[in-house]
Amino acid sequence: MISLTLSSTLRENHDEIIQRWLENIHGRTAEDYEQVLRTPMGHAVATNLLNYAVELMGAEEYQESELLHRARDAARDASFRRAAVGFCLPDIITTAMALRSAMQETLLNHVTPGDSVDEQTIVEGLLAINRLGDAIVSGEIAGYFAYHEYTDKEENRRNHMV
């Protein structure tokens, strides 16, 4: 377990993380994509991924791999859906990187060495967020390409039927 304090900090500052996430993507993604992320649907995706970070901070070491796989799968599914409505890979990846930054910024804003955690625990928490961010980016890429592979197969199938 990394720290229940860090887990609580992320959970208690959910709104701040979402706000920082939206600020971090502003002007870095297509305008129509940013507008979708500002909807309840966009917030739900971010909240789902944020919940993995909260869980990761309080998880035992043996649980980490499973959590990262679940986060990757959730990101993959979300990316597949975003690719299906026409969003591009750079915007999808930028979103994941912005969420990682928002979580790290919020932790650093609310937890200082000596509060109830030491510097090593803070660093471990930031590294865990990096591992989670890597899993999310990996899932985002996989979902995007899975969608395009699916559409290519469907197009080939239709072409062979004619």
Comparing C-alpha atoms, which of 36, 25, 24, 2 is closest to residue 111? 2
- Tokens 């993507």 label which residue? 25
How far apart CA 72 and CA 76 sit, in angstroms, is 6
Output 144 or 45, whichever has higher pLDDT: 144
Instruction: Name the band, by pLDDT with cuts 50, 70 and 90, for residue 158.
Output: low
Q: Please check whether residue 22 is in contact with residue 50, taking contact to mean a CB–CB distance below 8 angstroms.
A: no
pTM of the model: 0.83
**All structural domains of the chain with their residue ranges:** 4-161
Domain 4-161 has CATH 2.60.40: no
What per-residue confidence (pLDDT) applies to 156?
A: 64
Distance between alpha carbon 159 and the CA centroid of its chain, in Å?
Answer: 37
Tell me how far apart the alpha carbons of residues 145 and 39 are, in angstroms, rounded to a whole number. Answer: 25
What percentage of the chain's residues is helix, strand, coil (to nearest 5)?
A: 85, 0, 15
